[in-house]
Chain A
Amino acid sequence: MADYVEIGMPTPRVDGVAKVTGAARYVADQPIPGALSGALVHSTRSHARIVEIDTAEARALPGVHAVITGEDVGHYLYGRMIKDIPVLARGVVRYSGERVAAVAAETEEIARHAADLIEVTYEELPAVLDLDAALAPDAPVLHPDLNSYPGMRPLDEPSNAYRWTVDNRGDLDAGFAEADIIVEGVYETQRHHQAYLEPHASVVSFEDGRAHVWTNTKAPQNIRDDLAATVGISRDEIVLHHSHIGGDFGGKGTPMDLAVCYFLAQAAGRPVRMVADYIEEFMAGMPRHSTRTRLRTGVMRDGTIRAHHVQFFVNSGAYAGYKPAGVIGGAPRAAGPYHIPNTRIEAVHVYTNIVPGGHMRAPGSPQAVFALESHLDEVAGRLGMDPFEFRMRNLIDDGEETAWGQHFEHVRVKETLEAAADAAGYAEPRAPLVGRGIAIGDHGSGGGIGNAEVALEPGGRVVLGTAIFDQGSGTHTTLQQVVAEELRAPLHRIELQVWDTDGTVDDSGIGGSRASRVNTNVAYQAAQDARRKLVQLVAERLGEPEAAITLDGDEIRVEGREEVLRWPELLVEWEERVVGRAYIEDREPVRVTGFVAQVAEVEVDPETGELRVLGLTTAHDVGRVLNPVGHQGQINGGVVQGLGYALMEELAIEDGRVTTLSFGDYKIPTSFDIPELRTVLLESEDGVGPYAIKGIGETPNVPVAAAIANAVADAVGVRIADLPLTSEKVYRALADEASRSSRADAPESTE
């Protein structure tokens, strides 16, 4: 192992003191003199024509400065890849909660009161509220003009199924034909809210001919560009300033109300601040998608898988705009890191008249992995094999490609599973009504664009410039560690400077476990560039060849000279500063992934269906860990978010309306809900970038639900194939099982 002084050390957050003293400013805390408050009117219909919007009473209310509707903001559509979301609905609403009109007023109370005074007259249209309704042959088409949307792949006939992809490997029919046993299953997942505790917030203020923007985004350059495109101005006319971000989990890469805020500020001629309340977050945020996955798997009696067919149906909600690529990934993960020669993977994205889904921590993976890993236990059961043995038989080895045809480097999935099973005592005898379940996931480190600057200042300050807005995951701290490491300077001398969007031209920001692959690397390169330039400067000033100069922390030695120089003092003497810069544009496909294997142990009360998670073991193939405190924090938080997904969280919808509109109804885990957690880290020299690391932010939440579902099946023999795994579902499944077996046991009729 390399000899590091900062890399691998438990390091407190660079923003920690500001956060524990209350000094850290978030968007809602920014002091903006003269700012008005914005408020929204949301649709109360799932699908309707807007006949009229009467804003007269709202406009007449004292203290109201602007009222805008879709007619005022024009036909602008926004979105990341597919642009299909109106800033404010125009002519038609497509989900209950859609933004219809907005008000800017002196106070939040006046703004909300004015919004209540706006009368919208609707003419109801037939709505499709779930996958079946949306896919029915005679279903009303939500977006008849979808072929005109920028970024949409044109369809021959407009359909709610706006993207249906099919990927074939091998010969699926031949694979099924040779299989001894074919097992089919259908698995459903619910909408899951990111539940960052800080609601979306935006401020727009026009000054010096530019729009100054504060908004809680982890991708400031992208959001600046999106806003420019959405409101029809050049991106140079916008500067987006830094604020702390109160949680993300995928949700803070979406502009949400930013464009509305822009148009309100423009109409009012005053700065406007919009802070969503949590009702709006649940009603009109962009949660994790609900899905239905159909799996069909052909196996030989010896346990080898020959054929596997995935149909991954994604309930997109009303718009495609804020999904990772107009669609979410995930479908391949329903085939998994298994050796399967013949596969067909279909992914179907379907418009429905409900709140649109967006990004959430490993988009698509928890859904697909819940389906696959539940299903594999069903297959193992049919074969009479232990689920662990069955997986070990089929998991890929290093050098083999996954069931979806991807080749990863340094695959250690079997070792990861074995480590989890060992640590959990998977094979040990179980008490009655106690079960253990295993599940596996992975998530690669994505590419993108990154920037960094490392400035050596006279006197010894080091200023680390970054375009990254740390949304909580700790990237700023790891960047600080990297620079401290490469300059051999103490952490406290590395001062962080977060740029506004004028600081650089393009930067992908946080997302897709990019920080590990791109940002760490770019900070490393900027530090190396600073070292190189320092050597150049010293060589030039002293009239020595560069090769004669060595740096060791602050000290500079020159071959053939006795004295030891120090750069902090030399830069003072020379009145110089040294600036290292780096830029990375890394668009290569993902080659390195981090595997996770988990074992859940549960106890089920057969009288009530209540299930208690006794323990969770999570094993990760991690490469090198940069900051053990932050790394463990990602694992802990991810696992508990997965626990909420597994057991309790569901953004419930009745008649198209979200009914879980507060944290009283939408329950996330509390300190009292967390099980005993064992973490196993498989460190290695294999990873990405100069320190051989792997992303950790996304994987821990991926397999939790499947591991728990498998543990329930192991404990009491019932399979819950739709999330969340509530006690009611377990109770009903046990009751159904009991009535089935009592019918089976009933004496045959003697008639």
Chain B
Amino acid sequence: MRLTVNGQPVETNAPPGQLLIDLLRADLGLTGTKEACSVGVCGACTVLLDGRMVASCLALAAQAEGADVVTVEGLADDERLDPIQEAFLERGGLQCGICTPGQLVAARSLLNANPAPSEDDAKRWMMGNLCRCTGYYQILEAIAAASQGEA
């Protein structure tokens, strides 16, 4: 099957039943996407599939056939970080970093859908991305800063 991952065309033989996260991590070596809960609850494995957030630990690799997949590795433009990545760095939106790839993909998806989210919008959108380190405050600050171009 063919798909696009972070802008690059990819051709792969996904065995039946293979999960998208295993295609990304094991076959393509994109280990930035993390597996934590394995049941689609925690959001660590969030990637964009044709612009929509999906839990790659639940999605089948086959669902990505012909699709455009964006992972955390695809957020930066060459050496230039995405403003949301800059904002997470500056505002302390990450600590241990294990949920961060999913948080960043979710936050990027929020800003794509709503460039000026209110705090309440951001809280609702990010509800499916658990973080145990930050208590979310600095993640929300980072989203606000990125949306206001302050990163």
Contact = CB atoms under 8 A, between A and B. Distances in A.
B90 A663 contact: no
Given A472-B95, A630-B92, A672 B123 contact: yes
Interface in A440-484: 471-474
A606 interface: no
A564 interface: no
Interface stretch (A155-163, A168-176, A246-254, A312-320): A246-254
A705 interface: no
Contacts of A670: 126-128, 130, 136
B96 A198 contact: yes
Interface residues of B, number: 54
Interface string A1-27: 000000000001101111111111110
Interface in B92-151: 92, 94-101, 104, 122-124, 126-140
B73 to A, nearest CB: 5
B96 A248 contact: yes
A662 B127 contact: no
A671 interface: yes
Contacts of A23: 32, 73
A283 interface: no
Contacts of B1: none
A664 B41 contact: yes
B96 A245 contact: yes
Contacts of A636: 134-138
Per DSSP, are chain B's interface residues mostly helix, strand or loop, or mixed? loop
A15 B133 CA distance: 15
A648 B82 CA distance: 35
Contacts of A472: 95-97, 133
Contacts, number: 168
Contacts of B85: 20-21
Contacts of B32: 21-23
Interface residues of A, number: 55
Contacts of A248: 96
Contacts of A20: 72, 75, 81, 85, 88-89, 94, 97, 100, 104
A668 B34 CA distance: 19
A641 B95 contact: no
Interface string A273-286: 00001100000000
A244 B32 CA distance: 12
B95 A474 contact: yes
B31 to A, nearest CB: 4
A194 B132 CA distance: 9
A707 to B, nearest CB: 16
Interface string B55-93: 000000000000000011101100001000100111110
B72 to A, nearest CB: 4
Given A12-B90, A13-B89, A21-B85, A197 B31 contact: no
A310 B27 CA distance: 57
B136 A640 contact: yes
Interface string B20-38: 0000010001111111111
B130 A16 contact: no
Contacts of A194: 132
19 contacts: A16-B88, A17-B81, A17-B89, A19-B97, A21-B72, A21-B76, A22-B30, A26-B98, A31-B29, A198-B96, A246-B97, A472-B95, A472-B133, A629-B91, A629-B138, A662-B39, A669-B136, A670-B128, A671-B136
Interface of B: 25, 29-39, 41-42, 44, 71-73, 75-76, 81, 85, 88-92, 94-101, 104, 122-124, 126-140
